[in-house]
């Protein structure tokens, strides 16, 4: 199997070219374990915000670090292949850290996107903290939250499978 992943170094080089061309680069990140309709809708909405969508995919070790020892269900290579095969996704890069802060710092996307279950840094919210947003706002980028689709989550899917 060919790797679906692009190195951060390659993407940083391309990012410089895209900036010169005036292209709007959108970035999002996550585990994308057991990709479902909610993920697909989310990625389509993210891609609609710019000219290119880069997805930072948490490595298996990274996912275990914040989801626990039973996750991910699907290994990183397979998750990457699925993401790279989606029409809305232009590039996929793998990362080992618990947050995507190093990727956001290096790529400086024009738009950083996360789901609506996260807190926007400029608004009062009960959502999860978004540490990458501080970096994006510091260089003048935009942070966008895509509306969360209730009931469409990998955790719910896993719970359903385990109960049957």
| pLDDT of the residue at 150 | 66
**161: left (phi > 0), else alpha (psi -120 to 50), else beta?**
alpha
Percent of the chain having pLDDT more than 90? 72
> Sorting pLDDT into bands at 50, 70 and 90, what band is 128?
confident
Using only C-alpha atoms, what is the Rg of the chain? 15
| pLDDT (tens digit per residue) in 61-94 | 999 998 899 899 999 999 999 999 999 999 999 9
Q: What is the mean pLDDT of residues 10-29?
A: 98
**Tokens read off for 156:** 């719910």
User: Looking at the domain that runs over 8-163, which CATH code has it been given?
Assistant: 3.40.50.620
| pLDDT of the residue at 13 | 97
């Amino acid at each position: 199997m060919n790797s679906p992943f692009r190195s951060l170094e390659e993407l940083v080089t391309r990012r410089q070219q895209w900036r010169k061309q005036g292209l709007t680069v959108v970035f999002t990140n996550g585990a994308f374990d057991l990709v479902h309709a909610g993920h697909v809708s989310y990625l389509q909405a993210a891609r609609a915000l710019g000219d290119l969508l880069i997805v930072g995919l948490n490595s298996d070790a990274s996912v275990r670090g914040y989801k626990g020892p039973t996750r991910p269900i699907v290994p990183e290579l397979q998750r990457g292949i699925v993401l790279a095969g989606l029409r809305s996704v232009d590039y996929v890069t793998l990362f080992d850290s618990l947050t995507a802060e190093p990727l956001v710092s290096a790529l400086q996307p024009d738009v950083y996107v996360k789901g609506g279950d996260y807190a926007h840094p400029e608004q009062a919210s009960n959502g999860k903290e978004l540490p990458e947003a501080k970096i994006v706002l510091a260089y003048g980028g935009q942070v966008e939250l895509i509306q969360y689709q209730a009931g469409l989550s990998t955790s719910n899917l896993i719970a359903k499978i385990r109960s049957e």
